[in-house]
Amino acid sequence: MKYPYVCIEGVIGAGKTSLATRLASEYNARLILEQFEDNPFLPKFYKEPDKYAFPLELSFLASRFQQLKDQLAPGDLFHPLTVADYFIQKSLIFARKTLGGDELSLYQRLFTIMAEILPTPGLLVFLHLDVERLRKNILERGRDYEQDISLDYLTRIQDGYFDYFRQKQGSRILIVNTNDLDFVRREQDYQTLRSLICEEYPVGLHRITP
């Protein structure tokens, strides 16, 4: 890989954890996976989003910040490459779609303080899937607390990523349309995606449909 810190991103069900895990194994990289299943607010949020959005977003921000601060700050002579299945900015992307008013203003102030401390990835890879495919993947993996996620929610979150990418300056962002790829089950599809990620890109936004 061309960059020492690579983030794999995507909406829920895009396959980012599966891809990040395989890339890290293949390249003997340090792997950072988001820790979310123990969040007590997550199942409640999917049932009552208005009531639980603020504590959910705050708890995710604190967890993500602590994990990245702990794992990215120390040097690792045995793993000079790091692959993560999220980046800290996803916290702001989600909050802008779930919060409003004074809650969002307070959240953004806290986020700015935390994000400034963390390093930024050399390459951000976003796995783009149509929301119908995302919903299908979510149902197939069978997590009880995810079964109530709506197409509208997935659409709003995906739009939030694209809004962020259009405004972001000074980063390398690779958006890959994966609607015709099954990189988990088909080896050739994985190799195609891996080759794209291993290319060198100038700073800016790059959209690719393999």
What does the longest C-alpha to C-alpha distance in the chain come to? 48
All structural domains of the chain: 5-208 (3.40.50.300)
Task: Give tens-digit pLDDT for 46-86.
Answer: 889 999 999 999 999 999 999 999 988 666 666 789 999 99
Task: Give tens-digit pLDDT for 112-146.
Answer: 999 999 999 999 999 999 999 999 999 888 787 78
Is it the case that residue 180 has pLDDT exceeding 70? yes
- What was the pLDDT predicted at 59? 94
Q: What is the pTM of this model?
A: 0.91
